[in-house]
Structure 1
Amino acid sequence: MSDAIDLQSTRSGRTYRLIRTFRIGGRLAHEAQDDLGNRCWIKQAPASDEAAIARLRYEAIVLAKLDHPGIVRLLDRGRNRSCFFLVLSQAPGRTLNELLEGRQLALSFVLTIADQLANLLHYLHAQGIICRTLTPSALYADHLGRTTYVDLSMVWDEVSLPDSTEMYGDPTYSSPEQIIGAVVERRSDIYSYGVLLFELLTGRPPFQGSNRGDLALQHLLTPPPNIRELRPDLPQDLVALVDRCLAKLPAQRFPNVTALLETLCAIATGTALEKASLVPR
């Protein structure tokens, strides 16, 4: 007798068989297979937890209006007596957490991911969506560096009124203004992007602490470590880009993702030209 659990969508009528449990960002999820044999992911909230259901519904509303190859797609949703659930497309590759595992990644691979993430942020900001936190557990990448944003549970759109008194997500990747309870805006995402890029380049985030309070104080008061001491081979322009993203004051960061992308493109082009000049002729 099989112990497999089936969920039926009240929206499409499709049945989904749960195969295994894993995590998407900070939430438990399931790999599943629908009645046509297609593989998918399912995120669910218990029927007794109305706050979790409201958050999942909001994530569904956001996903339904997005269309980008770097974002998981909403395929279906449903509710039964035990839970409310979303059905999502699968992402190729592994989480950035799994790819990192405390080691430094190849510079060319990091630059590919950095470009993909910056373009993803550019798209989301154009749709009026703020990420609020970018964590390696919320992002998948394949062997070519093609990156997919799989956990949008922390995002909000700029027409909504967020609870500015709550610090959302993992404090390792939170901006200083988010930590003090200010309403976050687009340059907060640039800070989180800088934290993640620092980690991709060095194998560790710029700030590490044993508790949320310690991390919060470091984001607010402590300059980030000299990234070149952790990885001496980095181009100076890339070091300057990371430092600018990690500025404590929003006004000292890139004014928008467009400016960030322009700088990143110039760095990538310069790195490629430098490599080409080293090839024997």
Structure 2
Amino acid sequence: MPPTALPPIDPELHALEAAVRGRFALERELGRGGMGIVVLARDLSLDRPVAIKLLPEALARQPHLRERFLREARTAAGLSHPNVVPIHAVEAHGDVVFFVMGFVDGETLARRVARGGPLPAAEATRVLRDVAWALAYAHGRGVIHRDVKPDNILLDRGSGRALVTDFGIARVEDAPSSLTLDGHVMGTAQFMSPEQAAGEALDGRSDLYALGAVGFVALTGRPPFEARTVAALLAMQLMQDPPPVASLRPEVPARLAAIVDRCLAKRPDDRFPSAEALAAALDEAGGTPPVVAPQVRNFVRLAQQSTMMLGTMAPLILATAAQSNARAAASLVAIVAALLAVGADLARRARHLILQGFGAGDVVRAFLLEEDARADEVAALYHGESRAQLRRTRTVAAVVAAVGVGLWLLATVAARTAFAVGTWERNALRWGALLPLLVGVIAFVVAMNSSERAERRAGRLAGRLWRSGFTLWFFRLAGWGLDRPRASDVVRPSDARDDAALPDTAVARHPELPRLLRDAGDLARALAEREARIERVLVESGAARDGDAPAGGPTTRAQLVSRRVSLVADLRGSLDDARARRADVVAASENLRIQLARVRAGLASADDLAPDLAELEALVRAGAPPDANA
């Protein structure tokens, strides 16, 4: 709720004001709920804003709740982390029980989602990662939050940093008197782990379940479970599987969706083992996207254009083929010949890619990355106020397009009627009709460019085609008669040198040098072969994240979709890992060869090879990848 001035008559706030007089000046109320009243105040000694949370008097009068609140507030006050709202003081003066914490100038995650809808994937990843770091820090000090939810995650307006508040305080909700206060437990039950709902012993993985539910809200705009009563919510937490994120928002990157789905596993052992592991997974999911080679990127762009051209020309081909006159036959031959020429040019470019060491897997991967990038762009563009503004633009443009096309049709019909008997009048109407038609076409383009649905569907046909087994078939056809160059020939041209080219002084000083270079080459080839196997699996499976779920009941369908998303994400992760390891081996080998060239030229001594030898030796000792089909 928006900040409000202090109520003119509020006994609890007046009692708080009396308790802190001379140290803190109360300014305005920030919010209130069943678990307390939060007030903005100013620390008079340090001249800084703070937030004071006051325990409701009804709870403060119960000794066991009062003592638990104070004990756990003091425990939370011992936490010091950039993503944890700091607690400066914990005090009790009669029935006035409160703690003073840092003031965060921003809004809660709950308010952010309610105001602007689901977060873009990149922003959601950052928020979840910040909270995971905070939980990892707290868990390492024996503090379990027990009430992770969007209302307890604050987003700093200046930095965008996410901060967690109310560590450990939620345990006071065990009291029967608090179960119906302001719907607090209803909100908590939507984010409560199954073991917490069952009253079992908790560890840090309970917080990870709650964070998964928070991620679900951040990405979809709704909680995993919704019911009218607390009892129904708790039963759903215990008995039902949540829907996969991808089933509600397919454009979410597969890795991020799989991370959230894993956090929401019913069994703690099926979740991430720790908040550190979750933070590491989120860090990887939100890292810099893999780089696509310029040659592959160029092919992807041409493939998209060619596919769109085919889709546009298909109706024309069908319409022309339906006619039986000679002119139509000639037009059909010309159109088909043009399309075949485009296909032949695309095949030529695919053949050139093969000669450079790329393959179908590289193209599939590039289309997947392009799809993820497009999803992030659309999510960022059609968000909050921007969505409303673009909707208005689309409406106006659609009206203008309809009017323009209508005027064109009217003028065209008029040119064919008796109202325009003269040739001059008829030609004037025909040419004059072009202006509203042109305006209508331009307005139609503007309307389509302002449509979220059109943006999401743009390139979808090309993406589905080139992410399927068609790509593998196309590259096999384009590469007919070619032997694909070995990875060592493509990425390591200096491997052509044999051991005889090594400087004698280097071999004498480092006898292991020839063996190390051979082992590095073998490792690079093994990694390249692993890449090829994974690429083949991705291509043959379609590497699709969307599409219809298998038949079955809701629970079975959700499990199968979640499992498929997880498997594809694991495959892509393995592919990225193999490529990164091969790049490291290649770079270390080239560094060593550059040093060898300097030794041959007399610019360096054999001793200067030691650091590069050690680096390459460490990579080789890590060993080749497991000999498995992906």
- TM-score calculated relative to the size of structure 2: 0.39
Higher strand share: 1
Matches of residues 1-281 of structure 1 in structure 2 within 5 Å? Answer: 5=14, 6-9=17-20, 14-23=22-31, 26-36=35-45, 37-45=47-55, 46=57, 48-101=61-114, 103-143=117-157, 144-154=159-169, 170-269=188-287, 271=289, 274=369
Q: Which amino acid aligns with 1:41?
A: A
Q: Which amino acid aligns with 1:150?
A: T
Partner SS, residue 87 of structure 1: strand
* Distance in 2 between residues matched to 1:94 and 1:226, nearest whole Å: 27
Distance 1:270 1:78, change over 3 A: closer
Q: Give the deviation of 1:27 after TM superposition.
A: 2.2
Deviations 1:200-232 (A, max 9, x none): 011111111111111111111111113223211
Distance 1:171 1:7, change over 3 A: same
Deviations 1:121-174 (A, max 9, x none): 111111111111201111101244301112224367xxxxxx8x9999511110
Q: Is the 8 A contact 2:144 2:168 kept in 1?
A: no
Q: Which amino acid aligns with 1:126?
A: G
Q: Is the 8 A contact 1:43 1:87 kept in 2?
A: yes
Q: Is the 8 A contact 1:8 1:15 kept in 2?
A: no
Distance 1:126 1:175, change over 3 A: same
Q: What are structure 1's unaligned runs of at least 5 residues?
A: 157-162
Identical-residue share of aligned pairs (%): 29
Q: Give the deviation of 1:34 after TM superposition.
A: 3.2
Aligned residues: 267
Distance 1:93 1:115, change over 3 A: same
Deviations 1:31-53 (A, max 9, x none): 11233443211122335343442
Q: What are structure 2's unaligned runs of at least 5 residues?
A: 1-6, 292-368, 375-630
Q: Which amino acid aligns with 2:189?
A: P
* Distance in 1 between residues matched to 2:31 and 2:288, nearest whole Å: 38
Distance 1:69 1:222, change over 3 A: same
Q: Give the deviation of 1:110 after TM superposition.
A: 0.8
* Distance in 2 between residues matched to 1:28 and 1:257, nearest whole Å: 30
RMSD, aligned CA: 3.0
Structure with more contact order per residue of length (Cα contacts < 8 Å, sep ≥ 6)? 1
Partner SS, residue 41 of structure 1: strand
* Distance in 2 between residues matched to 1:77 and 1:223, nearest whole Å: 40
Higher helix share: 2
Partner SS, residue 130 of structure 1: coil
* Distance in 2 between residues matched to 1:24 and 1:68, nearest whole Å: 25
* Distance in 2 between residues matched to 1:112 and 1:91, nearest whole Å: 18
Q: Give the deviation of 1:258 after TM superposition.
A: 2.3
Distance 1:262 1:96, change over 3 A: same
* Distance in 1 between residues matched to 2:373 and 2:90, nearest whole Å: 53
